[in-house]
Amino acid sequence: MKSELKTTPFNDLHIENGATMMAFAGYNMPLNYTFGILKEHQHTRTQAGLFDISHMGQVLIRSQSWSALAQQFEKLVPQDVLNLADGRQRYGFLTTDTGGILDDIIFARRKETLFVVINAANKTVVIRHLRDQLQPACCVSECKDRALIALQGPKAEFELSKMNQKVVGMQFMDNRSVELNGMPVWISRSGYTGEDGYEISMPLDVSQSLVRALIARESVQLIGLGARDSLRLEAGFCLHGHDIDVDISPVEASLSWAIPKVRRKNGERGGAFRGESIILGQLINGVSRQRVGLMPNGRSLMRAGVTLYANEKDCHSVGRITSGGFGPTIEKPVAMGMVNTAYAKPGTGLFGDVRGKRLPVTVATLPFVVANIKRDQNQRIRS
């Protein structure tokens, strides 16, 4: 017997706006609206797209002090938590004892509290993991009374600034408490599209009025999961369960940039996280495979699961596609995959087996579309 799909607070709004609904991570979610995936993708790149991401997990973690909390959380992630400034957030990942990625997350410091956003498909497992590993030293609370949306695109700042000018001064990866439309929200300047934009966590009782006020704007359009996937693929962002998982290490996933010097071997707080011997060893000695961008040479799409070969005749695989589809911005098929390191150099020609026919594909530099975000000159894109 199939379990009933969960719904987000905006389920009725999706149906009201003609959404095609689909099952995703146990939720009934909009694939697209009457606009269509292609136009929704283009609208986000040129104007402002509003995404319902309330299916994702929101967690607050508290302890007796920030240093005590950071010390405990750094046992679970290879990022620098201790030196995270109030009002800032980072991309990170919860690692396993075997060096894999249990989940990739965003974590923000809100005074003496850590706010963590978790992937929807991993929510139950990750929250249990956090409680098992952190309690009783820390208190782990799921925010079941909050909705979460993302407003992405070059006009996102303009539209939100009509509600509160404070959003204009925010830089990439800033996290603030502000009022929008007279309602209290937690807002970060971040997203999953490669465009400038914001993610907004809000109490359930104000979520409907705020979202309706936003989509009433001429440049704001509701966007579904279909365009969210093509946008993140063009931006070279990983999808857990595809490009990263418990069997893929951060180094293999080309995410070494997210492990700072302070947490590496001989760093001030080097190691002391799950899977440290494997991950830190790979940082020094290298890996046998890694995540790369892939550009099919023709018009045929190469989806997840396509096997990759060095030539048209060899029967030994050198990798596989982990995510693939059409890139509307560049008007070409795009993909990402795990390939043997010997074949990971950009420009390397490979062949993908598509329904028994080997088609050419070239290793490409990520991202396919350069990120359009707001940051000061001293701030790294992935800080």
Kindly tell me if the per-residue pLDDT of 310 is higher than 90. Answer: yes
β-bridge partners, 108: 89, 115
- Average pLDDT of the chain, as a whole number: 96
Q: Which fold has domain 288-383?
A: Elongation Factor Tu (Ef-tu); domain 3 (2.40.30)
| pLDDT reported for residue 180 | 97
Q: Which of 14, 48, 5 is nearest to 225 (CA)?
A: 14
Phi, psi of 181, deg, nearest 5: 60, 30
CATH of region 2-55+145-234? 3.30.1360.120
Q: Confidence class of residue 199 from pLDDT cuts 50, 70 and 90?
A: very high
DSSP string, 132-192: HHHTTTSEEEE-TTEEEEEEESTTHHHHHHTT-GGGGGPPTTBEEEEEETTEEEEEES--S
Kindly tell me if the per-residue pLDDT of 380 is higher than 60. Answer: no
Q: What angle do CA 174, 73, 270 make, to 5 degrees?
A: 95
| pLDDT reported for residue 379 | 42
Phi, psi of 13, deg, nearest 5: -65, -40
| pLDDT reported for residue 383 | 29
Give the 3-state DSSP-derived string for 215-277, with helices as H, strands as E and coil as C: HCCCCEEEECHHHHHHHHHHCCCCCECCCECCCCCCCCCCCHHHCCHHHCCCCCCCCCCCCHH
Kindly tell me if the per-residue pLDDT of 1 is higher than 60. Answer: no
Kindly tell me if the per-residue pLDDT of 376 is higher than 90. Answer: no
Q: Which of 254, 252, 244, 255 is nearest to 78 (CA)?
A: 255
Strand pairing class (89-95; 101-110) = antiparallel
Whether the CB-CB separation of 55 and 8 falls below 8 Å is answered with yes
pLDDT tens column, 200-221: 999 999 999 999 999 999 999 9
| pLDDT reported for residue 374 | 83
| pLDDT reported for residue 381 | 36
Q: Where are the domains of the chain?
A: 2-55+145-234, 288-383
pLDDT tens column, 134-159: 999 999 999 999 999 999 999 999 99
pLDDT tens column, 254-263: 999 999 999 9
| pLDDT reported for residue 382 | 35
Kindly tell me if the per-residue pLDDT of 336 is higher than 70. Answer: yes
| pLDDT reported for residue 2 | 57
- Give percent of the chain with pLDDT exceeding 90: 96
Three-class SS state of 352 = strand
Q: Count of CB atoms within 10 A of residue 196's CB?
A: 22
Kindly tell me if the per-residue pLDDT of 3 is higher than 90. Answer: no
What's the CA gap between 57 and 313, in Å, rounded? Answer: 46
| pLDDT reported for residue 270 | 94
pLDDT tens column, 40-88: 999 999 999 999 999 999 999 999 999 999 999 999 999 999 999 999 9
DSSP string, 53-117: -TTSEEEEEE-SSHHHHHHHHTTT-SS--TTPPTTBEEEEEEEPTTS-EEEEEEEEEETTEEEEE
What's the CA gap between 150 and 216, in Å, rounded? Answer: 16
Strand pairing class (48-52; 220-223) = parallel
* Average pLDDT, integer, range 221-240: 98
Q: Which residues fall within 8 angstroms of residue 149, CB to CB, at 6 or more apart?
A: 50, 51, 52, 53, 54, 199, 200, 202, 207, 211
Three-class SS state of 214 = helix
Residue 201: its H or E element: strand 197-203
